[in-house]
Each structure stands twice: as C-alpha cells, then as structure tokens.
Amino acid sequence: MNIEMIHAAARRLEGHARVTPLLNAPLLDRIAGRRVLVKAECLQWTGSFKYRGAWAAVSALRAAKGVIAYSSGNHAQGVALAARQHGLPAVIVMPKDAPAVKIANTRAYGAEVVLYDRTQQDRDVIGEGLAAARGLVLVRPYDEPEVIAGQGSVGLEILQQFQGDAEVLACCGGGGLSSGIALACEGRMRTRTVEPAGFDDMARSLAAGERLRNAALAGSVCDAILTPCPGEITFPILQRLAGPGLVVSDDQALQAMVLAFQHLRIVLEPGGAVALAAALFDESLGDTVIAVASGGNVDPAVFAGAMARFG
Amino acid sequence: MNIEMIHAAARRLEGHARVTPLLNAPLLDRIAGRRVLVKAECLQWTGSFKYRGAWAAVSALRAAKGVIAYSSGNHAQGVALAARQHGLPAVIVMPKDAPAVKIANTRAYGAEVVLYDRTQQDRDVIGEGLAAARGLVLVRPYDEPEVIAGQGSVGLEILQQFQGDAEVLACCGGGGLSSGIALACEGRMRTRTVEPAGFDDMARSLAAGERLRNAALAGSVCDAILTPCPGEITFPILQRLAGPGLVVSDDQALQAMVLAFQHLRIVLEPGGAVALAAALFDESLGDTVIAVASGGNVDPAVFAGAMARFG
C-alpha cells in the first residue's frame, strides 16, 4: 500500500468519479470560529466516497466473472454501480432487515441483492458459496489496498483544491477513507480520524498503539461508520500518519447535518457528518480545517428529528 | 444587452463565482423517464445564482460610494456579499416582516439592513432618500443589463459542461436568469422558462406577445420567484429566444425539492426547484433536459411538510 497505488487509482478514476467541490460558507465559519472547508463527497456518484474505492477495486480486476460484496449501505451501492459500468455482474449480500431504500437503491444500480436472515444464517457461508459457484471476486469495504487507493483520491483532489496550512478530518469506520487520505496528503497536511462516541475504536487504538474493539456493534445514529475494529491494513498507516483521533457525540453529528443543510445546501447522513461536526465543535483544532463529508441514504425520520431540534 | 456583455461578466466572475457542478442520478432519470442534468446553483456563494448577477453588477461600477438594493431574499444576500468583497458598503431595504433568517443572513454578509413597514411606508421613497444622501447606486434584481450578464454565465458554463442536444430549463421570476441563459446559449440550446401555477406571467406573456401581469403578488410556496410581470429588458430577449413557457404546480415544486434531497443530496428552495419539477414531470419535454436549480433559504416548516408528504 503506497502513494503510487493512489496515483494509479486516481488516473483510472479520471472521467468516472466526480471531482467534488470544496465548499465553505462565511456563516458556518462564524459558528465554528475557524475556517471550515467541506469536501462534498455527498455529491459523488451514489452519494458517497465509497464509489471511488469500489470503482478503483473493480477497475483493477483482471478476468473476473463478477464481484460480490457484503454491505447494507454505501459500499453496496458503490460496488453495484462500478460493476455495472464495467459490464460485470454484482452480487450484494444484505441482511433482510436492511432499510428498504438501501435494498431498492442497490438493485436500481444493477446489482443482484441476496438477502439473508441475520439470526439464522451465516453471511460468510452464503457469500463464499456464491463466489465459488459463480467465480465472483470479493470486494472488501476498507481492508483492501485498491479500495484504500480509490478513497485516497479524495486526498489528492484536496491538495489540488487548497494550498495552505490545514488539517484534513475524515469520517472513520474501518479507516479506508482516512488511511487513503493520510497517504495521499503525507508531508503536506495532517489527517485526523473522526468517530462517534462509543464507537471510537480507532481513536483508542491510535492512543494504545494496538487494534482495540468497540464494546457494541450498534447503538449510534452514525450507522454508516460503525465497524468492530480498525482494519489490519488501515491501522498501521494511520498509526504512522494520523491522529490523535477525534470523537464527536451523536448530537453534534446531527447538528452538523442540519448546519450543512442550512449553510452549504448539501445533504449528509449522520455518519458522513462527523468530520464536519469536529470541524465545528472541537475546540482543540487549529485555524483552518478541511472536513470530508459524505451523503448516503438519510433516514427521513432521523432528519426530521434533527431539524426539529437543531433547525 | 448582448452576448459580449455575458462573456465580459463571466471573465470578471472568474475566480469569484463558483463553477457549479452539473449533477445527475440514474434513479432520478428513471423517475423522469428522461435524462435530467441539474445545474446545482444552490452550491453557489450565498446559495443562489443571484450572487453572479450581483457580483457582475457591482464589479462593473466605477466610482460608486456604495450600493443599495430592495430585496427580502436571495438578491439581497448576493448584493451584500458582492459589495463586501469589493470593499463597498451595501444598504438593503427590507420589509420588517421579512423572515428573520433572511435578515440575519443579509447582515452576516456585511450589509446594513434598513427595515420598513409595508403598510405605512413607501419603499422607493426610503431607498431614494438613502441613495441620494449617501451616493449609493441601485442594483436592480433582474431588469439590469449587468445582472442579466452575470446570470448568463450559468449558460456559458452549461455549454462547457455538456455537449449534446438538450433544452435548458430555468426558474423564472422577472426573467433575469432565463434571459441571460437564453443569450448565452443562443444557437446551441433552447431555453425554457419555468414558473409556478398562478404566477405564470412570463408563459402567458410569451404566448400573447406582450407583457402581462399576475393577478396576485403572493400565494405560492415558490416565494423566491413571484414577480408582478416580465421585465422590460428581459421580455424581448425571451420572446426572441425562449419558450413556450412551462408551468408547474406548487406540489410538483415541493416534490422536486424532496427528490433533489434524496437523489442528488442538494438543498433547493421551492422556487429554485421549479425547473427540476418540469424536468421530472412535464411530459412534453424531450429526451435530455438541463434544469437550473437554486437554493436560497428553505423554510424548515415547508421542508418538513414536503418530506412528510413526498419523502
């Protein structure tokens, strides 16, 4: 995993991934008390940066008969669209209690969705059976060099769009986005991971110097970035280049989502708003920060509740 | 008023106005039954294309001591920010019952807001008195060549971003945006105005060949684009180059606002969503349309109501 892989992925992504704008608003800067630039990856295809990693991984395949992924969310949609654009079939294995809109979107992007019962069936057994029978290649959501390379293209774009002294804040689940950005920006800008409180495995792992697990797998509104522990590939990169990790509350993430709606006119999901939340509310940060923000599928009830409280 | 003025305005705007992205989403195309490209002017400074016209007008001034505008909405914020960026004072005359958020935003962009009582005071008397006493130049919202030239830069960008056969749909109040785009795209793409039902003065005027007035001045949720009648300068341009005018219902505008939120992750106000509404729901249109969409300040209650009905 190195910077050359990121440059190679960025070249393959050219003309396919959108170069997303770096937005800012004077009224948001006033609230933050600093200059806040927002890399609006919610405007990326499928609404999240996950499309970059998926496209980079699929475009790196040679002679695959198709791809398979386990995901109920943004990675699923990224893999589905990237596979279709490469003329490859995609199978996405999803729990049957996943939100209907995510299942529908994944199908609309052309994937075959295979549903399983979380309480009765083993996802890996289903996936491995399908992969073996049909010759499908598994695309992992973050612990996968080509995926990290694709997400790293966000960092290369930031370096082109902003010259100056700043820290880059990235929402962090398994660390694919943040490790890619950290490699892309090495020596130019420091990268900081941002996680929701209670699911701060990366922040604690960076502090401890070893990969620690979260106590729970669910229980935050930031569902898009709840992963059990840092990735095997992503953690050493972040240990070398990033940190200390930042943590925000669910309420701060929801408030950042509302402020992005009001002042930047973009739609983020709570998990995609944690970096902006840190940019707005973390007093330890410096004068200028760049927050990577992502969209996904926002639950209308969650959004309405946040608007009622913070709008 | 000619294409050269638009090119000149676009050159002055370079590095100041944002080049906004042309977004699309496969799931939105499926709903529309055609290819829909959205020029996301909600991502422009101050949230609307009005900043372009304001900046173009202010940057064309020579030896002005300041500017003045009558507006309770997006033009006010555009003029306020453009004036501040030119180091000029701006006075915005607003009715004192204007939404608090719009007054606050206009002040936050650096303008002096002068409030008046609609029922007791004459806006023009107040404005002319201030202009004479302080040497301020009036910036009109649409019937002003430099403003039309600035809005026309949207059309030049569209021509650079999309090569192919398409109609451009523009939300239309007094016709500043649509006439600027029509001139910019003359001979390349046809421009169509879009208005809310009951306030279709431009559509009726284009059909009649003369400037007709709306029966009412208020009563649509699309408040940003309710003007009494087509402009003196804008109408002949649109008569020569645009039409027939399109009309959408308030409900279609609200539904377009919700679909933009869900599928494009951008925030539009109802008046800024009428062109997208026509793109989605008007069966008379062709295979590919480009809808200009604008943001402004969305009323949280209106948004919540639309999400509850259409989300």
Classify domain B3-49+145-310 at the CATH class level: alpha beta
> What per-residue confidence (pLDDT) applies to B22?
96
Q: Residue B296 — pLDDT band, cuts 50, 70, 90?
A: confident
Is residue B73 predicted with pLDDT exceeding 90?
Answer: no
Q: Could you tell me which chain A residue has the CA closest to the CA of B105?
A: A27
Average pLDDT estimate for B56-80: 93
Is residue A72 predicted with pLDDT exceeding 80?
Answer: no
Q: Could you tell me which chain B residue has the CA closest to the CA of A109?
A: B26
Q: Which residues of A touch B295 (CB under 8 A)?
A: 265
Q: Which residue spans of chain A are classified as CATH 3.40.50.1100? A: 3-48+145-310, 51-138
Q: Which residue spans of chain B are classified as CATH 3.40.50.1100? A: 3-49+145-310, 51-138
Q: Residue B119 — pLDDT band, cuts 50, 70, 90?
A: confident
Contact A21 B43 (CB under 8 A): yes
Q: Is B175 left (phi over 0), alpha (psi -120 to 50) or beta?
A: left
Is residue A214 predicted with pLDDT exceeding 90?
Answer: yes
> What per-residue confidence (pLDDT) applies to A203?
98
Residues 51-90 of A with CB under 8 A from B: 81
Is residue B299 predicted with pLDDT exceeding 80?
Answer: yes
> What per-residue confidence (pLDDT) applies to B243?
80
Please tell me the distance from the alpha carbon of residue B64 to that of residue B138, in angstroms, as a whole number: 10
Contact A311 B300 (CB under 8 A): yes
Q: Could you tell me which chain A residue has the CA closest to the CA of B41?
A: A265
User: What is the interface pTM, i.e. ipTM, of the complex?
Assistant: 0.94
Is residue B97 predicted with pLDDT exceeding 90?
Answer: no
Mean pLDDT over each residue of chain B, to the nearest integer: 95
Q: Residue B27 — pLDDT band, cuts 50, 70, 90?
A: confident
> What per-residue confidence (pLDDT) applies to A297?
85
Indicate if the alpha-carbon torsion angle A44, A45, A50, A56 is positive or negative. Answer: negative
CATH architecture observed for domain A51-138: 3-Layer(aba) Sandwich (3.40)
Contact B267 A267 (CB under 8 A): yes
Between A103 and A202, residue with greater pLDDT? A202
Residue B9 near chain A (CB below 8 Å)? no
Q: Could you tell me which chain A residue has the CA closest to the CA of B24?
A: A45
Closest by Cβ to B27, choosing from A23, A42, A105: A105
> What per-residue confidence (pLDDT) applies to A120?
87
> What per-residue confidence (pLDDT) applies to B302?
93
Q: What fold does the segment set A3-48+145-310 form as a domain?
A: Rossmann fold (3.40.50)
CB pairs < 8 Å spanning A and B: 63
Contact B265 A261 (CB under 8 A): no
Is residue A137 predicted with pLDDT exceeding 90?
Answer: yes
Closest CA to A289 of A192, A184, A157, A213: A192
CB atoms within 10 A of CB A295: 26
Average pLDDT estimate for B182-200: 97
In a 13 Å sphere around the CA of B95, the CA atoms on its Cβ side amount to 9
Contact B43 A108 (CB under 8 A): no
> What per-residue confidence (pLDDT) applies to B89?
97
Please tell me the distance from the alpha carbon of residue B308 to that of residue B20, in angstroms, as a whole number: 29
Average pLDDT estimate for A203-227: 93
With a pLDDT cut of 90, the percent of chain A lying above it is 84
Question: B233-270: per-residue pLDDT in tens?
Answer: 999 999 999 989 999 999 999 999 999 999 999 999 99
Question: B133-150: per-residue pLDDT in tens?
Answer: 999 999 999 999 999 999
Closest CA to B280 of B13, B26, B35, B81: B35
> What per-residue confidence (pLDDT) applies to B144?
95
